[in-house]
Structure 1
């Protein structure tokens, strides 16, 4: 381990718990408070790039501004003796969404929407501060008894205003490849302006994966994934998860719109869209269950009505045939024959309503 055992004189490194595109994360203990923390240290190979080191330290300032119960808190920041910057963050217990999906494959629609809605809660506050995460993915989403906790705003870009054009992480000036293509938005892949809608696209990809068991675009080559994200149409969610509620599938594909202007403009709008899609399905199911006895009654009445109509129609046809027969035979028949025929016809006509009832 090339990282010192003691950092800043008060954090003791215990073990490595993860590696990202920019740094390594360790579990550590605060010696004075005796509580677990997470320490993120910039990778040695990136330390030579001033722009990356600056971006890494910007993470500390960015996360310090974001104070949301579903976002990992930042406690401290500084530089190691060799110049590498580090950040001390809240240590969040639980399993990542990536681990959960690897274990369970896919999630029930209501659970998936709940997770996505809680992510949108964090994004709503972050976007209000001008912060775009830019690297949302299942491994950055922690699940525990508190619900969702969004990790690693480490490559977040702090926007000065809503019109600032930002640079995509896989085409930085130094040529470094940073980010996860399958969860990046089309505009991020193309190096276009990146704003809140980019994060909402990533939420759509995550939700798609929670429901279908796989993200929309896959390939062994990252460059091929970038091209697909930027140009290809996502496979219909219902083709991979036919039992998914149709309103929810439509909501997911709305988040996956290539044009950012066609996605919800705010995280709160995205949350409302997703919750409505589930509410519509729930109301439909519940109303269907409650209406079933009534619907059965209506069906029975309709069946009876149609049966009566069929009997009445047949009776009318028989009566017409009998009347025609009587007219033909009445011309040549005597008084007795006429008396025998008419009551028969009258009896048949009188009996018709009785059979219909």
Structure 2
């Protein structure tokens, strides 16, 4: 016996066709407007909430607030129910797609530039809403609708006035980044008439439509009283601290939510996580989260700093508006040669794996070139961010590793030079002070009880002489790590007994020497002689002999930890640096086919991976922490041709590979 089909509600002006969504406040239906001959989405408030005056007022506020907005990135409101209607409903434009939440679940390895381009579209939509006095207060992936070209169903009896007509020739296919010329500023780049990407921009056709919806808990700055009960509204993981504490809410509250959303787009998970909402709220209030580039090295330091500005705990320290956040995103995209973010989004969703690989190949040389410019301009932080991200994208490129090493050494030398200059300056001040004190004592009369001793006669040497240095016992460095400054202060200088002696002083084999550590992956932690130290971009001063070393990646399961001994060799040259380069062994990667038919097969010959038939999981040993390569997808039916696509895998993780590729 089949269960009866649920009866759809009946509205006087609209014909309901099917239920397409269900939330805590309302149910959403696909419907047809017979007067205009178009399909729409209708949100009908739940019956048990219909009599609640506050909920009803909030629902009406949603309609009035959203109806004021006209922006391509905001779902358009067409109609709202009247007081005499039996049901309270809202009529909005219909998008045949899905939510950003589902997109992120399917594309956890989305390139940083694609995620940033999506956030840029939301920044522009929210800036428009804020200009109209409306704060969303609940920006999250569930409230972002994404319609891909393949989601659209064109019918003869359907019109879509909110979307421009589309060309049907081959030029409508989105052009990937590789088809564009690199630019260095917003005013430079490709000729507007020389590419199909530019024609798409002039038409305003995004290819992929991204719209912000659900202003159901929006607060209008010009209408108070709807949410004045002190109730905390929003989603815990996306709420700003001032929103949690029922403080003053303004446009920067939405900026914080955009920062959370951007973090998830670029990193693959939320910045604030916990076992329950209470833990999440506490971590938001504390403002503690792992940096984006530490969680995923391919994000890079520059994107990580933009996210950090949006996630600042206090509104005063936070990026001031969605428009400013959008400017930062656009500037970074253009610096990397992406002049049309919407076209880049469309190209990615047309071929995610292929476009991600093409984007990686194009970004690496651009990051290296910008890093070199930053290095020459003595912008060490910028150079390090670009070189490190380039190395994360191309971990086997030894030329990039050499640049990172060179930058580390140069930075250490500059730091040591500054410290020594400070020591010299301090010594000069002390010397002048000592000279003044000596002159003052010389001018005082000799005590009657003390016989004045004759001053010994000295002969001025013909060459410069070294001033004696107090003999300070060197520190035992075997149990701890000393900095170059401590080395410079604590190591006694050998002084020749006579200026006439020209032979080199004897070398003290117990003198510490400079040591630099280079570890792959760069997110690894180093425990040196029982103490965790920050090894990146630092130079250590260690005593000759053995030192215990433990290396691991505590934030990831990518690699096998390693315990070893670093043997520090004595050196006659105090400026000679001893380098240690270690690479952790990647753990096997587990691969799980998602949505694959029975007896389907996947083979990645480069890493020896073979899955199926009759299985959906397998494992492989990767040559590095992350591996990308072409794999063969063989369907069970002989009528379907095998496919070959790029697959990206991470060591130590369960990697979901969607089927079909």
TM-score, normalised with respect to structure 2:
0.40
Range with greater deviation from structure 2 (111-120 or 213-222): 213-222
Answer yes or no: is the 8 Å Cα contact 2:57–2:226 preserved in 1. Answer: no
Q: How far did 1:153 drift?
A: 1.2
Instruction: Give the strand-richer structure, 1 or 2.
Output: 2
Structure-2 change in CA distance of 1:289 and 1:39 (3 Å): same
Structure 1 position 121 matched with structure 2 position 201:
no
Q: Which residue of 2 aligns with 1:10?
A: 13
Higher RCO (CA-CA < 8 Å; seq separation 6+) = 1
Structure-2 change in CA distance of 1:84 and 1:235 (3 Å): farther
CA deviation profile, 1:205-236 (whole Å, cap 9, x unmatched): 01100111111122342232222212241221
Gaps of 5+ in 2: 148-206, 338-362, 377-398, 403-661
Answer yes or no: is the 8 Å Cα contact 1:245–1:278 preserved in 2. Answer: no
Q: How far did 1:277 drift?
A: 3.3
Q: Which residue of 1 aligns with 2:366?
A: 286
Q: Which residue of 1 aligns with 2:445?
A: none
Q: How far did 1:2 drift?
A: 8.7
Q: Distance in 2 between matches of 1:65 and 1:194?
A: 21
Q: Distance in 1 between matches of 2:317 and 2:282?
A: 20
Structure-2 change in CA distance of 1:179 and 1:290 (3 Å): closer
Bigger Rg, structure 1 or 2: 1
Q: How far did 1:40 drift?
A: 0.8
Q: How far did 1:13 drift?
A: 1.5
Q: How far did 1:95 drift?
A: 2.5
Q: Which residue of 1 aligns with 2:213?
A: 151
Q: How far did 1:179 drift?
A: 2.2
Q: Distance in 2 between matches of 1:291 and 1:202?
A: 31
Q: Distance in 1 between matches of 2:143 and 2:235?
A: 11
Answer yes or no: is the 8 Å Cα contact 2:8–2:18 preserved in 1. Answer: no
Structure 1 position 267 matched with structure 2 position 322:
yes
Q: Distance in 2 between matches of 1:265 and 1:138?
A: 22
Answer yes or no: is the 8 Å Cα contact 2:54–2:226 preserved in 1. Answer: no
Q: How far did 1:291 drift?
A: 10
Answer yes or no: is the 8 Å Cα contact 1:12–1:29 preserved in 2. Answer: yes
How do 1:159-308 and structure 2 match up within 5 A?
A: 159-160=221-222, 167=227, 171-172=230-231, 178-280=233-335, 285-286=365-366, 288=368
Q: How far did 1:104 drift?
A: 1.3
Give the aligned CA root-mean-square deviation in angstroms.
Answer: 3.0
TM-score, normalised with respect to structure 1:
0.72
Q: How far did 1:178 drift?
A: 4.2
Answer yes or no: is the 8 Å Cα contact 1:201–1:256 preserved in 2. Answer: yes
Structure-2 change in CA distance of 1:225 and 1:208 (3 Å): same
Q: How far did 1:60 drift?
A: 0.8
Instruction: Give the match's secondary structure for 1:262.
Output: coil
Q: How far did 1:118 drift?
A: 0.6
Instruction: Give the helix-richer structure, 1 or 2.
Output: 1
Answer yes or no: is the 8 Å Cα contact 1:25–1:39 preserved in 2. Answer: yes
Aligned partner (choices 80, 83, 101) of residue 98 of structure 1: 101
Structure-2 change in CA distance of 1:10 and 1:178 (3 Å): same
Q: Distance in 2 between matches of 1:159 and 1:192?
A: 15
Q: Distance in 2 between matches of 1:291 and 1:82?
A: 63
